[in-house]
Structure 1
Amino acid sequence: MTTYQNYALGNWQSGDGTEIEHFNTITGEKIGETSSKGLDFKAMREYAVEKGGYALRRMTFQERGMMLKKLALHLMSIKKKFYTLSAATGATRVDSWIDIEGGIGNLFANASLRRQFPDLPYYVDGQAAALSKEGTFIGHHIMVPKEGVAIHINAFNFPIWGMLEKIAVNLMAGVPAIVKPSEYTSYLTELMVREIIASKILPEGALQLVTGLGHGILDHVTNQDIITFTGSAKTGKMLKSLPNIVENSVPFNMEADSLNASILGKDAVPGTPEFDIFIKEVQKEITVKAGQKCTSIRRIIVPEDLMEDVQIALSKRLSKIVIGDPANEAVRMGALATHLQVERVKENVKLLQAEQEIVFGDLENFEVHESADRSKGAFFSPILFRNDDPFNKTAVHDIECFGPVSTLMPYKDLEEAVQIAKLGKGSLVSSIITADDKIATDYVVNAASMHGRILVLNERCAKESTGHGSPMPLLTHGGPGRAGGGEEMGGMRGVMHYLQRTAIQGHPQTITAITQQFQVGADQPEPIEHVFRKHFEDLKVGMTVFTHKHTVTETDITNFANVSGDNFYAHMDATSLDGTIFEQRVAHGYFLLSKAAGLFVDPKKGPVLLNYGVEEARFTKPVYPGATIGVRFTVKEKIDQEKKSEEDIAKGIVKFLVDIYDETGETVGIATILTMVKKIDQSK
């Protein structure tokens, strides 16, 4: 038997006594115990902020991203270590894959976000705002890491994914974490955290773990902390209303279990691919993780004339599900996480039975595979209810059975389907299976206000679809109302939850220094040597090349039209300009950009490896033959780039502002070009 420990203040610690006993949910065998009694939560918070937070806040987004990538690669290399213990939670191989490798995938996805952030410890948000007539006073926004700790209170169903999907985001933002998984499955989280700590990839203090009940974990939070909660709405609301959380305006992100719905489009009749896809998807969501997912389908909403067809097809598919020990290859559904969970699901099934009929499954009479002992494991039969009057028999819209339980119900038209879906009072996810894009559009637009995510599934995307129940790291996960009203993940959006947005005001030169992005009106010192002759380390934001000038001719316009094939009338036919904004033949915008390149490029071989893109190109004033143009070519921003291998060239990304102006000094075109520039130091 194992005593599962907490990781606090830089050490593995056992709590006082025993708070929770852990049992193998398949065999009933006791595998360990844990406690968090005696932990000093105030000291843990201070340790996280002063040690882990201090180190993380001094890392740039690029460095944090590389840290996450390194951790993901390490955990993926030892992933087999987690599968055996994961089976003790009742998980099949597929269930474990979602939890383990899906969780590690969140680390990879968040690591990739580094390319969307500046090479700074903080984020520069949006564009500068002009606040004065002469341009000497401007405003901007930056977002800095909060100087607190992320406290994650997670559910029992995903002991690894639940932790990794959250810490990936706060670590990317530069904020440390204290993780409190469900005490019932914390033994699997503990195994993962042991490997993370042993790797020494994260700064000390960046991650701490509470494996027991964690009473008092929120007693010392401040306005710089962020709390995330995954679990029942009842518990979440109780925690969210704690006096010190309300008093200190502590951000509290709640993701609660919800009554998610899946809708079968009227076009998806038996015999169509979409009907088969629907049956398969619903069966999968009822049985994967034994229905213990906050995103599982609880309400199956189908056209009233297809109720019998769906009931027969779904029951037939559910009847083939083999329940038992996941170690046996024939088994497709394991056990619930605990015997306590079995009793809770039974209680709610009986409540629903008062209003609706079970058409598949039985609470007591069901078989498990011969390799398992039903009397010892926390096994449960898939249950399919039928409710023919969902507007009047409404318990199904209020009571959630957190197990392999779902209810079939009819709708007359799409408007009614939307209304039924909304009776769940807000969900994490809804799905509609249809090949008709008009049906899909009508459902999404009318139902979206009550759902955090909507999957539109049909034959065209089914092969690659991640499914109804799979939130993805680059998309937001959360939902309104009963679902908690919060948001997690979501790519850059998720990282923003852990940053404080602050408006900054001042002279463009000062704002340039703070943001490390060139702001119009800042100093533009001209280097002695052309910027294309300088290595990445020697380039400074604001350095500007003022190019030679060129007078545009009609021959330029004609030649560019011949080369590009762009013979738009405004460029080529002076007789067609009546009633337009143009006074005479106008130069192509892309000619101006091309000519600008001819003016600002230093052609000799040097540190610039290549130009690989153009962003934010705009043409702001017509340029006619006889106009003279020049370019102010300014270092706008620098972003470090890691080497992909020892043989790779050490380089960074430099963004240059291309400001094309005419003889009056007025800007006629502006763009940002992206370049790769070689470093002097090839060891980095």
Structure 2
Amino acid sequence: MTGTTLPGTDALRERALAALGAAGVTPQYGEGLTARTPITGEVLFDLHATTASEADEAIAAAAGAFRTWRTTPAPARGDLVRRLGELLRAHRSELADLVTIEAGKIRSEALGEIQEMIDICDFAVGLSRQLYGRTIASERPGHRLAESWHPLGVAGVISAFNFPAAVWSWNTALALVCGDTVVWKPSEATPLISSACSGLLDRAAQDVGAPREVHRLLLAGREVGEQLVGDSRVALISATGSTRMGREVGPRVAARFGRSLLELGGNNASIVTPSADLELALSGIVFAAAGTAGQRCTTLRRLIVHRDIADEVVERLVVAYRKLPIGDPFAEGTLVGPLITAEAAERMRDALNRAEAEGGKVLVGGGRRLAEDAPSAAYAEPAIVRMPEQTAVVRAETFAPILYVLTYRDFDEAIALNNAVPQGLSSSVFTGDQQEAERFLAADGSDCGISNVNIGTSGAEIGGAFGGEKETGGGRESGSDAWRSYMRRATNTVNYSSRLTLAQNVSFL
């Protein structure tokens, strides 16, 4: 463990209250929901959980506000998001405190998450003047054929603990400028940062004269999440979580003919070729595999190395892993903070046991580091496991810092290994060979939604659409044309002639 002691729970509680106060938020104390910190594994506050009737009221309020918000000019809707971005900038440090306290992220990653929120607000403000349709050539004289885009309705956002603020902002900033209203059900593990974000958006709405009901927050458990998913007043459900969760959400939304945007599991791989710059590759691999204590959806979980360089790459990785500072995420120099719960540490141990049973060898890490002053916390040593082949445990996602190392003989085999898992979120290749790089990005290369060259699998920018294929769900959030998920398309035909001309030369009457 880095440092001598962890901060005490009382000190963390005071820091959380100070951050909430700066955002203008007072915790809603009560029953039904517990705010904990993975730094010590202990309870910070007992909070009031949103009831079913309160959730129904929130959805109704958002649906009512939509009728006004959809006709507000898009640039005026952008003013709300611009103000939110200003408030995020003003409270970046306090919000990062809450991310670290509730999710266990090291300081630089927590600050990076808030910066990501600021960036998407900037993107969305520009987008508010660029919700472009198109003009299409009509086959009929005196006719104009066009497409236009209109607000969709209430967007329900269900987010996970690992990016407790950024994923909300991806959805909310875009949904608001698109003319939708938002109902947010965050992870039960992160009610404090969720309350702060919601409070700042409420303040932004007041500052610009927008209806407060354009955004509502539901702090509750699974039951209220299911209520949101099943409510026909919610036009879109954007859900981030496990593939198991997506299997439940997708069919329920489809059954009521709603839309779903799913960001689910990832089992991401990097290929390292003989021509790779190994210094560059090692830096990218260690961050992607051990950053956020292995709890990103884009975390590197499989390393596919050419057999001629595998021993050297593994040896150097083991040396780097043994030096990783683990401990208090607030402490300067710490690179690996805690797992979110003790149960996550147990799942990591179970996966390592299965890997060994399937022929793997743990080369480094895998132990749980117990802090004398926080026995309930789960600090785990990132692990590297050499595997003989891509076995069942390798094909399954374990949300913990485990890196499985596989070898390949030729590049086609490497791509096949990359693609031979159910998930399809992120991937990368480290190579100095342009043909290999282009082959990896080609239609018969990586089958993932994110494919990188000479960087790791994590750390996406907001300008590009984020999401994956196969069991990752197929959804796209954040940049590029992801805004279209939050709008409905209308095809328009305008006849400005004095004759009624039918398409396809049909004659009638």
For normalisation by structure 1, the TM-score amounts to: 0.65
Higher relative contact order, chain-length normalized (CA < 8 Å, sep 6+): 2
Could you tell me how far apart the structure 2 residues matched to 1:361 and 1:485 are? 34
Give the alignment of 1:73-222 within 5 angstroms: 73-88=86-101, 89-117=103-131, 123=132, 125-132=133-140, 135-146=141-152, 148-199=153-204, 200=206, 201=208, 202-216=210-224, 217-218=227-228, 220-222=230-232
Could you tell me how far apart the structure 2 residues matched to 1:205 and 1:215 are? 22
Contact 2:415 2:446 (C-alpha < 8 Å) held by counterparts: no
Structure 2 residue corresponding to 1:226, chosen from 230, 236, 253? 236
Bigger Cα displacement from structure 2, 61-70 vs 72-81: 61-70
Structure 1 equivalent of residue 299 of structure 2? 296
The answer for unaligned runs of 5 or more in structure 1 is 5-10, 118-122, 269-273, 511-684
Could you tell me how far apart the structure 1 residues matched to 2:39 and 2:398 are? 20
Contact 1:422 1:447 (C-alpha < 8 Å) held by counterparts: no
Structure 2 equivalent of residue 547 of structure 1? none
Contact 1:131 1:139 (C-alpha < 8 Å) held by counterparts: no
Task: Describe the SS at the equivalent of 1:379.
Answer: strand
Give the alignment of 1:507-546 within 5 angstroms: 507-508=495-496
The answer for unaligned runs of 5 or more in structure 2 is 1-12, 18-24, 499-509
Structure 2 residue corresponding to 1:468, chosen from 440, 446, 457? 457
1:384 matched to 2:384? The reply is: yes
Structure 1 equivalent of residue 314 of structure 2? 311
Bigger Cα displacement from structure 2, 381-390 vs 213-222: 213-222
Structure with more of its chain in helix, by fraction: 2
Structure 1 equivalent of residue 506 of structure 2? none
Contact 1:255 1:483 (C-alpha < 8 Å) held by counterparts: yes
Structure 2 equivalent of residue 682 of structure 1? none
What is the one-letter code of the residue matched to 1:116? Q
What is the one-letter code of the residue matched to 1:188? I
Structure 2 equivalent of residue 283 of structure 1? 286
Structure 2 equivalent of residue 7 of structure 1? none
What is the one-letter code of the residue matched to 2:346? E
1:338 matched to 2:338? The reply is: no
1:258-294 superposed Cα distances (whole Å, 9 cap, x missing partner): 10111112212xxxxx211111111111221111100
Structure 1 equivalent of residue 6 of structure 2? none
Task: Describe the SS at the equivalent of 1:419.
Answer: helix
The 1:327–1:238 alpha-carbon spacing in structure 2 relative to 1, beyond 3 Å, is same
What is the one-letter code of the residue matched to 2:136? A
Structure 2 residue corresponding to 1:431, chosen from 428, 431, 445? 428
- 1:226 to partner: Cα distance: 0.3
1:537-571 superposed Cα distances (whole Å, 9 cap, x missing partner): xxxxxxxxxxxxxxxxxxxxxxxxxxxxxxxxxxx
1:499-551 superposed Cα distances (whole Å, 9 cap, x missing partner): 111111122499xxxxxxxxxxxxxxxxxxxxxxxxxxxxxxxxxxxxxxxxx
1:627-662 superposed Cα distances (whole Å, 9 cap, x missing partner): xxxxxxxxxxxxxxxxxxxxxxxxxxxxxxxxxxxx
Could you tell me how far apart the structure 2 residues matched to 1:54 and 1:235 are? 31
Could you tell me how far apart the structure 1 residues matched to 2:50 and 2:453 are? 44
Could you tell me how far apart the structure 2 residues matched to 1:80 and 1:111 are? 23
Could you tell me how far apart the structure 2 residues matched to 1:23 and 1:46 are? 31
Could you tell me how far apart the structure 2 residues matched to 1:508 and 1:335 are? 66
For normalisation by structure 2, the TM-score amounts to: 0.86
Structure 2 equivalent of residue 527 of structure 1? none
Structure 2 equivalent of residue 405 of structure 1? 402
Give the alignment of 1:356-505 within 5 angstroms: 356-364=360-368, 366=369, 373=373, 375-390=375-390, 393-397=391-395, 399-446=396-443, 448=445, 450-457=447-454, 468-491=457-480, 493-505=481-493
- Work out the number of aligned pairs and report it: 470
- 1:14 to partner: Cα distance: 5.1
Contact 2:418 2:446 (C-alpha < 8 Å) held by counterparts: no
Contact 1:183 1:211 (C-alpha < 8 Å) held by counterparts: yes
1:353 matched to 2:342? The reply is: no
What is the one-letter code of the residue matched to 1:386? R
The 1:13–1:96 alpha-carbon spacing in structure 2 relative to 1, beyond 3 Å, is closer
- 1:233 to partner: Cα distance: 0.2
- 1:225 to partner: Cα distance: 0.6
The 1:44–1:220 alpha-carbon spacing in structure 2 relative to 1, beyond 3 Å, is farther
Task: Describe the SS at the equivalent of 2:323.
Answer: coil
Could you tell me how far apart the structure 1 residues matched to 2:427 and 2:175 are? 27
Task: Describe the SS at the equivalent of 2:292.
Answer: helix
Contact 1:172 1:495 (C-alpha < 8 Å) held by counterparts: no
1:241 matched to 2:251? The reply is: yes
Contact 1:223 1:251 (C-alpha < 8 Å) held by counterparts: no
Could you tell me how far apart the structure 2 residues matched to 1:478 and 1:110 are? 18
What is the one-letter code of the residue matched to 1:499? M
Identity %: 23
Task: Describe the SS at the equivalent of 1:353.
Answer: helix
Task: Describe the SS at the equivalent of 1:388.
Answer: coil
The 1:246–1:38 alpha-carbon spacing in structure 2 relative to 1, beyond 3 Å, is closer
